[in-house]
Structure 1
Amino acid sequence: MPSPAATAYRRFLPWKPWLEAGFWLAATAINAFANSAVAILEYQRRGEPMATWEPLAWEWSSNLMVLALVPATAWFTRRWALHWDTWRRRWPLYLAASGVWSLLHIGGMAALRHAAYAAHGERYVFGYWPREIAYEYLKDLRSFLLIAGIMLAYRWLLRSWQGEARLLDAPDEGAAAEPVERPERFLVRKLGREFLVSTADIEWLQAAGNYVNLRVRGHDYPLRSTIAGIQMRLDPARFARIHRSYIVNLDQLAAIEPLDTGDARVHLKDGTALPCSRRHRDALRERAGAGEPLSARPPA
């Protein structure tokens, strides 16, 4: 019987894209409105004349560009995720990325402000570019690191919720209980608890950035590895590479459906369909059926 946590996680998944998009939209709107109100009140407190649309143009142009950069930031932090064992060598990459992020933010923000001022019959003056870019970068560095930190922390929470896998390491002393280079089990940590799962229970594997998702009895467990790295540690008699992003357990194979493109579609016993590239199709057919013709359709 599924645990309450597992059930809650499965219920969360259909809502996940909407909640993520809603979070960034809400954060953008709240920040833009709050900063605009502060700017208006500040000018009023000093008794300086200020058209209301100006601080609105300043803040919304900035926040809309931040929102536009969220997908790129998500891709970057997923592709080069930070971990305790990688942050020392990757922090220069994040520092460089913050510079690119800032230039895109400043350029887009300035363009939006020029358009807003032109719509009101006025001209927007950015100021002395070197000084203003340095000033904006100091603010953008903080914003970039905050957004990246939120994304990394969010993914860590999701992995903790769904469970994160790792292969067993060799003990500090004595012989290993099982072969380390080709382990028979892997360790799953979920919500602070750890349990062992047999490698034979893996149905298929999918590359996902710095992780490989292991499909086990309807659950996905991310394992920090490359698809090539984990393939080297799996039993080649049981697992086969079918695509640059997929490995399948041959015991789970139900049928191989050829496609007009020369590729194929692999159907598993649970009804899952996975892509099979043409470079792997013939080898998979030979291993799965000893050279028998490919099934035209999956079995009913």
Structure 2
Amino acid sequence: MSDVKHARERSSAGPFWDQNRTSQDEVSPAVTGGGLRAISGVDWLFYGVVAAISLGIGVVNALSAAQDAAWRGAVYNFRTPLFWEMSSIVTIIAVAPVLFFAVRRMRDVSRWPLRLGLAVAAIIAFSSLHIAGMVGLRKAVMFLAGGTYDFHFSLATLIYEFRKDVMTCLLIGGALWLIDSRRAAPQARSVVTTPQADSASVAADMVWLRDGSSRIRIEPRDVVTIGSAGNYVEYCMADSRTHLVRGTLAAEEARLTKFNIVRVHRTRLVNLSRVTGLKAGPNGDFELMLDTGEAISGSRRYRHAVASIEALAADPAPVASTNAARR
């Protein structure tokens, strides 16, 4: 046991458990960026599904329009309504990245007024591009075919197209929002919850000692004994090093018990994992032999601390069964 009067020369600080946690970054959205960069990875699958469904709806609508015309007594004409539908669908597919970009920007902000403003701006931009692109495509195709196209530009026509575009935006944007939400949920758990739990688990297995302004990390399995020395406690390690730090033996006992380091005497703790032998005395006292070759005396007051060792030593069955298995 080290002399207390030399404690100031060796160390003058108390034991320290590292409770600092690694800071975690905020969960970032799955994809951010501008323009076509808003579509990446699995988004292309969703984009393809939207395109396929839109084309299917366009074909069904064209067939329905041709059938309705025939029921009214007109000539069954599938090509004309198909052209009107496809010109609109192709334009929707072309300007759909506007919705991808808007949804991702909306997820970047937390205030609902800003999200609502972005949604309104996206719908207006989408509808404007859709109407302009659809009309331009129809005019170009009709011109090449030797005909003309009149959009009948008016407020009523714009409202007619705009209300359909609103529903298209809600369907595509809403589906993308839900997909991103489901994708972000497990990512949030893995980035936030799991690292915190892992950090707490790792911290629970660490023992840090404060030596002045320095921090010393030790492995619990390397501790052999801990003895009291006045206002200090002395850690005796397996490599013969010692650490003298300010503290009480009771405080060390309370936090090191989970590492199988227990009190065997009023002035000493022992790591039971390093015990190789136990010798019981007639008066209840006992002696522990350690793997370092030391013999440590224990008081009968703390005989319960080595009860697990005595129980194992009293039952030779595991050893016998092991030997039998080897034969």
Give the alignment's TM-score, normalised by structure 1: 0.48
Larger Rg: 2
Determine which structure has the larger helix proportion and give its number: 2
Higher relative contact order (CA closer than 8 Å, sequence separation 6+): 2
Give the alignment's TM-score, normalised by structure 2: 0.44
